[in-house]
C-alpha cells in the first residue's frame, strides 16, 4: 500500500484529488494534513467519511514536529503538496502570510521528507517522491501570442506568484543539491466543484444566483487558460506514478477565455437554468487589480508526450457541469459564504 501525505486536502483542488484517488486506486492510504483555514472545508470530503484509506489531520505544514511525526507514524512514501495561500488579492493585502505558508511551509515539508527518506550514504529510499503542485502564474504575463513552456523563465508579478516561485525553486534545489526525487507541476486556472467563492467562476455563480453585482476587473479582457479540476487530478496522479524526478510538467487545458467571456457564459447558464431576470446588467467593471497579468496560456505538450495525459473535459461541458454542481449544492455555497468570507467580500467589492 502506498502512503501519500496530501497537504491542503480539504481545499478545492486537494479535496478533488483525494476523491479522485480514492475512486481510482485501492492500494493507497491518504494522510490529509490541512489547517482548515477559511478555504478548507471537511464538507468537501463528506462522501468518503468512514473510508479507512483517508486519514484527516488538522494542522500546519509549518509545524516541524507534527509533520515529522506523520512521516514516521504513517510510513509516508509520497507527498503531494497542495497547501498554499492562493488568492492574489489577499497576497497584495498581506504578503507575509503567503511567505510564511507557501515558502517556509514548503521548506519544512522538504526538510521532513529528507529526514525520513534519505539514507545514511546519501541515497534515497526506493519509491519515494515529492510532488510540488505549482501554478502558471510564476511565469508572469504573456503577450497576445505564444504559450508558457517548462523552459519559460520565472517572472512572478504578485506576492502570491512570487511565493509560489520561491517554493518551486526550493523544491528544485532539494533535487539538485540532495537528490530528492521530486517533480513540479504548474497548472492553468482550475474550475469545478468545491472551489471557494473568492475565485472568479464560483464568485460569479454565487452572485448571479443572488442577483448581486458581478465585479469584473479593468476591461475584463485578461485571458486565462481554464482546466477542469478532475483533468488536473489525473495529471498529478500520472506525475506521481510516472513523472521523471527533477522534471517540471505544465498542465493546461487549451481553453483560453477572457474574464468577461467567462462572466457572460455564467450569466447565460444561470439565466436559462434558474432565473430569467439574471442578465448582463449585473456586470460591474471595477478598478483593476495591481500587477494584473494580461494573459496566461499553457503548452501541455511535454506531459502529453511523456506521460500520455490530455484534458478530457471541454470548457463548454465543464462550465455547465460546474454551474449545475453549485446549483445542486446551494447549502454548501451558503455555508462557505458566511462569516469571514462576507467580511472580506464587502471590503473588496462594496462601493466600487
Instruction: Decide if 137 is catalytic.
Output: yes
User: Sign of the C-alpha dihedral, residues 295, 231, 15, 196?
Assistant: positive
- The pLDDT value recorded for residue 343 is 52
CATH assignment of the domain containing 51: 3.40.50.720
- The pLDDT value recorded for residue 86 is 84
Instruction: Decide if 306 is catalytic.
Output: no
Mean pLDDT for each consecutive 10-residue tract of the chain (352 residues)? 96 97 97 90 91 96 98 98 90 94 98 98 97 96 89 95 98 98 96 92 94 95 94 98 98 93 98 97 92 89 97 96 96 75 46 32
Q: Of 34, 77, 85, 136, which is the active-site residue?
A: 136
Classify burial at 21, counting beta carbons within 10 Å of its beta carbon; exposed 0-12, middle 13-18, buried 19 or more. Answer: buried
Whether the predicted model's global pTM rises above the 0.85 cut: yes
Q: Hunting for cell 447558464 — which residue is that?
A: 269
Q: Of 139, 160, 228, 345, which is the active-site residue?
A: 160
51 in any annotated domain: yes
- The pLDDT value recorded for residue 252 is 94
Q: Which residues contact 209 (CB under 8 A, 6 or more apart)?
A: 270, 274, 275, 278, 326, 327, 330, 333
258 in any annotated domain: no
Q: Which domain holds residue 25?
A: 2-193+227-252+294-313
- The pLDDT value recorded for residue 351 is 34
90 in any annotated domain: yes
Q: Of 137, 231, 237, 293, which is the active-site residue?
A: 137
Calculate ∠ Cα 63-83-62, nearest 5°.
Answer: 15
- The pLDDT value recorded for residue 339 is 55
Please give the tally of structural domains in the chain.
1
299 in any annotated domain: yes
67 in any annotated domain: yes
The helix/strand/coil state of 13 is helix
37 in any annotated domain: yes
Closest CA to 203 of 127, 259, 119: 259
- The pLDDT value recorded for residue 288 is 87
Are residues 164 and 186 in contact, defined by beta-carbon separation less than 8 angstroms? no
263 in any annotated domain: no
Instruction: Decide if 136 is catalytic.
Output: yes
Amino acid at each position: 500500500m502506498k502512503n501519500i501525505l496530501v497537504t491542503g486536502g480539504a481545499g478545492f483542488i486537494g479535496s478533488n484529488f483525494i476523491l479522485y484517488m480514492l475512486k481510482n486506486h485501492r492500494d493507497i492510504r491518504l494522510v490529509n494534513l490541512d489547517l482548515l483555514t477559511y478555504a478548507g472545508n471537511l464538507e468537501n470530503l463528506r462522501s468518503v467519511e468512514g473510508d479507512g484509506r483517508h486519514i484527516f489531520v488538522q494542522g500546519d505544514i509549518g509545524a516541524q514536529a507534527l509533520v515529522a511525526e506523520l512521516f514516521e507514524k504513517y510510513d509516508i512514501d509520497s507527498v503531494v503538496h497542495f497547501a498554499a495561500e492562493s488568492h492574489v488579492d489577499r497576497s497584495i493585502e498581506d504578503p507575509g502570510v503567503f511567505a510564511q505558508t507557501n515558502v517556509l511551509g514548503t521548506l519544512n515539508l522538504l526538510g521532513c521528507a529528507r529526514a525520513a527518506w534519505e539514507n545514511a550514504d546519501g541515497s534515497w529510499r526506493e519509491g519515494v517522491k515529492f510532488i510540488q503542485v505549482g501554478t502558471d502564474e510564476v511565469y508572469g504575463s504573456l503577450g497576445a501570442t505564444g504559450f508558457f513552456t517548462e523552459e519559460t523563465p520565472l517572472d512572478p508579478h504578485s506576492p502570491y506568484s512570487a511565493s509560489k516561485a520561491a517554493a518551486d525553486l526550493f523544491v528544485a534545489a532539494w533535487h539538485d543539491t540532495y537528490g530528492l526525487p521530486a517533480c513540479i507541476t504548474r497548472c492553468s486556472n482550475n474550475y469545478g466543484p468545491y472551489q471557494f467563492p473568492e475565485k472568479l467562476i464560483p464568485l460569479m455563480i454565487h452572485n448571479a444566483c443572488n442577483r448581486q453585482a458581478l465585479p469584473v476587473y479593468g476591461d475584463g479582457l485578461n485571458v486565462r487558460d481554464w482546466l477542469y479540476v478532475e483533468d488536473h487530478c489525473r495529471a498529478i496522479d500520472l506525475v506521481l506514478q510516472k513523472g521523471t524526478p527533477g522534471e517540471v510538467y505544465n498542465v493546461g487545458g487549451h481553453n483560453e477565455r477572457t474574464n468577461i467571456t467567462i462572466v457572460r457564459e455564467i450569466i447565460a447558464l444561470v439565466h436559462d437554468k434558474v432565473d430569467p431576470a439574471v442578465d448582463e446588467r449585473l456586470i460591474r467593471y471595477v478598478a483593476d487589480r495591481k500587477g494584473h497579468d494580461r494573459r496566461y496560456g499553457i503548452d501541455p505538450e511535454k506531459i502529453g508526450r511523456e506521460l500520455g495525459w490530455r484534458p478530457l473535459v471541454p470548457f463548454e461541458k465543464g462550465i455547465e457541469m460546474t454551474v449545475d454542481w453549485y446549483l445542486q449544492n446551494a447549502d454548501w455555497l451558503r455555508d462557505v459564504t458566511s462569516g469571514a468570507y462576507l467580511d472580506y467580500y464587502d471590503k473588496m467589492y462594496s462601493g466600487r
